[in-house]
Amino acid sequence: MRFLDQLESRFGRFAIPGLVQFIAGLQLMTFVIFLMLGEEGRAAYLDFLTLDGARLLQGQVWRLFTYLFIPGTLSPLWALIGAMFLMWLGRGLEEAWGAFRLNLYFIGGTLAVAVGSLLFGYTATGLFLFQSLLLAFAIIYPNEEILLFFILPVKIKWIAWLDVVFSVLMILGAPSTFWPVLFAHLNLLATFGPGFVSSRLQMARVAERRARFDSSTASAAAFFHQCARCGKTEVDDPGLDFRVNDAGDEICSACRSGTAAPSVG
């Protein structure tokens, strides 16, 4: 965190406020262009925008960012809803982190996807990178509610879990998608992974200390009665009844009835 604070103090003035909202706006503009093109023109334009590591090496550097502008649907309604949802995620994350850290998260994720494409040769759109925004939002605001289909209130954490299940099923069905999914979520892992591991280790240490305390408390539990013959107490057997005999010794009900096991030692 100190390193990020130092970076922000030096370079924070270069941050782009509303970066995610701007990307969402470009998605809508690209969607409009798609609607104006025929099928062949749309395919050619999509090919022009898509991230492709092999063509990046040929000097087509615009692909580092243009793949983010590709809309996820050709339905006008869902394209609008998707853009508005992305803008909402961007505003929430910027409120939580500030413009600089959100820029670092998003641009870092963009570069990670590009590196993965260069290493493994996959083509990519912004789908999984935008998913990393959703998961980050759900971690910060897990109980924030949205109206699913404008009717059903659902907490954002459940939407995030459904998204995770969707990604896992996609990987199981097409193992080649593992690398695009992994590299698109490296920003998420780098941001929340250390804290998650640290919290789990802390929980394990607390549980271990509690177990040791409970064990020592149980072994050193106080008792008020102890049988002079078998040595049992009310802690050993809460069902025992103790009486004092004529010699002044406490004898448990089991020993008085002759059913107790002989004491050891």
What is the pLDDT averaged over residues 172-198?
Answer: 89
pLDDT, position 243: 84
pLDDT, position 264: 42
Structure tokens at 77: 């309604």
For residue 193, count CB atoms less than 10 angstroms from its CB and return exposed for 0-12, middle for 13-18, buried for 19 or more: exposed
Asked if 104 and 38 count as a contact pair (C-beta separation under 8 A), the reply is no
pLDDT, position 73: 83
The model's pLDDT over 3-24, given as tens digits with 9 standing for 90+, comes to 777 877 888 788 899 999 999 9
C-alpha to C-alpha distance for 239 and 250, rounded to whole angstroms: 15
Which residues have CB under 8 Å from 237's CB, separation 6+? Answer: 252, 254
C-alpha to C-alpha distance for 19 and 128, rounded to whole angstroms: 17
Q: Is the pLDDT of residue 55 over 70?
A: yes
Q: Is the pLDDT of residue 224 over 90?
A: no
pLDDT, position 215: 66
The model's pLDDT over 122-159, given as tens digits with 9 standing for 90+, comes to 988 888 999 999 999 999 999 998 877 777 888 999 99
For residue 191, count CB atoms less than 10 angstroms from its CB and return exposed for 0-12, middle for 13-18, buried for 19 or more: buried
Element (DSSP H or E) covering residue 113: helix 99-120
Q: Fill in the DSSP letter of residue 263.
A: P
What is the pLDDT averaged over residues 51-77?
Answer: 89
**Chain centroid to CA 237: how far?**
47
Mean pLDDT is lowest, of 28-37, 159-168, 224-233, for 224-233
Q: Is the pLDDT of residue 94 over 90?
A: yes
pLDDT, position 69: 92
pLDDT, position 204: 79
* pLDDT top residue among 213 and 119: 119
From residue 40, give the alpha-carbon distance in Å to each of 44, 49, 76, 221, 262: 6, 14, 20, 81, 94
pLDDT, position 216: 60
% of the chain with per-residue pLDDT over 70:
92
Q: How many helices (H) and strands (E) does the chain have?
A: 12, 6
